[in-house]
Amino acid sequence: MELQRLILKNKNKIALISGVLIAAAFLNHWLMHVPVISELFLISASVIGVLPIAIQAYQALRVKVVSIDVLVTIAVIGAFAIRNFEESAVVTFLFLFGAYLEQRTLNKTRSAIKELTEMAPEVALKLMEDGEFAEVDVDDVDIGDVLLVKTGAKVPVDGTVVAGEGSVNQASITGESIPVLKEQGSKVFAGTILDNGTLQIVAERVGEDTTFGRIIELVEEAQDSKSEAERFIDRFAKYYTPAVLVLAFIVWLFSKDVELAITILVLGCPGALVIGVPVSHVAGIGNGARHGILLKGSEVISDFSRVDTFVFDKTGTLTVGEPEVAYKEYYGEEVDRALSYLASIERESDHPLAKAVLEEIGETQLYPVENTQVVKGGGIIADVDGHSVIVGNMSLMEREQVELDSKMRLRVAELEQSGHSLVLTAVDRQLKVVMGVRDQVREGVKEDLRKLKKLGVKHLVMLSGDNQGTVDAVSRELGLTEAHGNLLPEDKSAYVKKLMESGRIVAFVGDGVNDSPSLAYANIGIAMGSGTDVAIETSDVVLMNSDFSLLPVALGLAKAISRNMKQNIVIAVGVVLVLLFSLIFGSWMNMSIGMLVHEGSILLVILNGMRLLRYGLKR
């Protein structure tokens, strides 16, 4: 066993020695013309070269697998038996040298994940009991520890800034290299780099539980996962390789031509077919991770590449998610008091519109809020300062029988039609305040949607809890196929399900929190979120920095991976067919040429897969 490990460990050195011996044999043949010396060199090269191949073949047979190594070992022994030492030596060298080149190029396809893992922090400056900061191993950091991060250092854990400020490069998390200002109260992530400044942070997640640790784990799992195509090829190779062995035996049985049978063994090796699909997936997933796109597995890529319908949440996805009051109108007397009541209620709400309303009202007197009743999809009813206050949309006002004259109704309809989200306030069922809030469309979204169409997406659908007028206005601006408003989260997931039942392949794009049911239902769930737990767990694809422009890049990458995989299958199968055709109908094909072409085809599919490492750099 020790000898076996030693031989396999020095496989590359054995290939080098074998190559030198073969070169020496040919030099002797051309210069000195001493056949015995050439033969001795070739025999030595064959014996030395076949050792690691034979060991790998033996290990495969022990687990009842007829691998490529088995075919090559039999072929080399057969060539040796018929005293074709030139063929046996050259085949072993080409196989070992090909394995060396394959490993080199495969390692390069994993370069993206390697770059990520190298970003992982190893040490931290921890606040000790004596009040001084001391350098410790990152594994010795516990939740609640206070850490110091200096300029140029990596943030060692996920945490919150408790003192200091500085600019942090978050490329390892979001793929975006523009530094982000961090100050007291800001969240920071492990693996990011402090470009300038000094921060003190309190550790909240450490080790593998950090966002960075989770990303590496997910990418590694995705690269190791197998698609349906890979599983089929594995099953195919399991039966195909023994079939080649049987075919070679039958050919020898009927033709008594040992060299022909041995050549069939070499030509029939399915190496390029077995390796072509995985290398495409590994390179593509690694490329995505490096640019802030998490593709969670090979099966995800297959489905994502065939998506024909994109469904979007509106707020925070197509729009900025920071609405502002764009229109306001007041009715009756004591408007200031009504605004104070409105502010008192909105400060207790986490609704996106509440922040916009509070910013518009500014400093004002606040009152205790009692008997709060939240009306789902409508608004809030509460008692403030002895008055019944209703804050919400038009349907809530009508349900609570708030007095609305025709002029008010016309104004509300006009605002909804022009794309405003309405916040109406009634005191004792008298309408006092009408505010129209608008959320700006994300910059560049229209162009990104056009790119999705160019990539073959036929339907662009928006679903929102906002009023239909607002939804229609955004839809017209962006040129969407469909737009539906006044929807609750369960309504959105039901609509996604309906689209899928009609035969569409649906990708849902949301923030990964409120839209988790729809993300889970869709064929492909795409979360626009900077590494939030729900985004990572629920979705199939995560755009780590919420950059909408990465969406067409992600789809294009999935299509490129799928296309690259098919190209590799065609190359692998095509080469085997050409070799067998040449053997049957041509006179130039032999075992050495067959092995050379075989190894060349493996390198060709690997190099083709490696092209994915550069995808998107010029997007």
- Kindly report, residue by residue over 281-321, the tens digit of the pLDDT: 888 888 888 787 888 877 788 889 999 999 998 877 888 76
Amino acid at position 91, single letter: V
Is 199 or 546 the better-scoring residue by pLDDT? 199
Compute the C-alpha angle 587/589/595, nearest 5°. 175
Cα dihedral sign for 538, 539, 540, 541? Answer: negative
Type of residue found at 395? S
- Which is more confidently placed, 596 or 392? 392
Closest CA to 264 of 283, 285, 247, 284: 247
Which CATH architecture best describes the domain 324-438?
3-Layer(aba) Sandwich (3.40)
Question: What tokens were used for 357?
Answer: 């309303």
> Is the pLDDT assigned to residue 226 strictly greater than 60?
no
Residue 200, SS3?
Answer: strand
The Cα 473–Cα 437 span in angstroms is: 13
What is d(CA 595, CA 601) in angstroms, rounded to the nearest whole number?
Answer: 10
For residues 184-197, give the mean pLDDT: 86
8 Å CB contact between 466 and 485: yes
What whole-number distance in Å separates Cα of residue 384 and Cα of residue 427? 9
Which residues lie closer than 8 Å to 168 by C-beta, 6 or more apart? Answer: 155, 179, 180, 181, 182, 188, 192, 193, 194, 195, 199
Handedness of CA 243, 246, 250, 256 (dihedral sign): positive
The rounded Cα 286 to chain-centroid distance in angstroms is 8
- Residue 618 vs residues 92, 117, 553, 614, 615: alpha-carbon distances, Å: 42, 25, 10, 9, 8
For the domain covering 120-153+158-205, report its CATH number: 2.70.150.10
Cα separations in angstroms, 587 against 235, 255, 574 = 33, 16, 19
**46-85 pLDDT tens trace:** 899 889 988 988 888 888 777 778 877 887 887 777 787 8
Q: How many CB atoms lie within 10 A of CB 6?
A: 9
The answer to whether residues 162 and 184 touch, using CB atoms and an 8 Å cutoff, is yes
Distance CA 492, CA 229 (A): 32
For the chain, give the percent of residues with pLDDT over 70: 89
* Count of alpha carbons within 13 angstroms of residue 309, beta-carbon side: 22
pLDDT of residue 619: 47
Provide the token pair at 382: 């509460």
335: phi then psi, degrees, rounded to nearest 5: -65, -40
- State both tokens at 169: 């490069």
Q: Where are the domains of the chain?
A: 120-153+158-205, 324-438
Residue partners of 315: CB distance under 8 A and separation at least 6 = 321, 323, 352, 439, 464, 466
Q: What is the DSSP-derived secondary structure letter of residue 1?
A: -
The residue behind tokens 């074709």 is 84
**Which of 158, 313, 540, 547 does the annotation list as catalytic?**
313
Distance CA(286)–CA(288), nearest Å, equals 5
Buried b / exposed e over 148-181, threshold 16 CB at 10 Å, is bbeeebbbbbbbebeebebebbbbbbbbbeebbe
Measured over all CA atoms, what is the biggest interatomic distance in the chain, rounded to whole angstroms?
116
Q: Report d(CA 112, CA 466) in Å as an integer.
A: 41
Can you give the pLDDT at residue 519?
A: 80
- At residue 508 the predicted structure's pLDDT band, cuts being 50, 70 and 90, is very high
The predicted-structure confidence for 453-490, as pLDDT tens digits, reads as follows 999 999 999 998 777 877 888 888 899 999 998 887 77
User: How many Cα atoms within 13 Å fall on the side-chain side of residue 583?
Assistant: 25
Please give the single-letter amino acid code of residue 122.
E
Helix axes 2-9, 35-62, angle to 10 degrees: 120
Comparison of pLDDT for 426 and 174, the residue scoring more? 426
- Looking up tokens 């390692």 gives 107
Q: What's the confidence (pLDDT) of residue 114?
A: 59
Q: pLDDT tier at 116 (50, 70, 90 boundaries)?
A: low
Phi/psi at 449 (5° precision): -65, -35
Q: Are 96 and 49 in contact (CB under 8 A)?
A: yes
Q: What is the pLDDT of residues 430-451, one digit of tens each?
A: 999 999 888 778 888 999 999 9
350 annotated active-site: no
What amino acid occupies position 345?
I
The backbone torsions φ and ψ at residue 461, rounded to the nearest 5 degrees and listed phi first, read: -120, 135
Q: Which amino acid, one-letter code, is at 292? A: G
* Tokens 């035996």 belong to residue: 249
Nearby residues of 232 by Cβ (< 8 Å), 6 or more positions away: none
Percentage of residues in the chain having pLDDT higher than 90? 18
pLDDT at 505: 94
Residue 174 above 60 pLDDT? no
Helix (H) or strand (E) holding 230: helix 228-255
Name the E strands within 320-429.
324-330, 369-375, 379-384, 387-392, 421-427
**Cα distance between residue 431 and residue 404, in whole Å:** 7
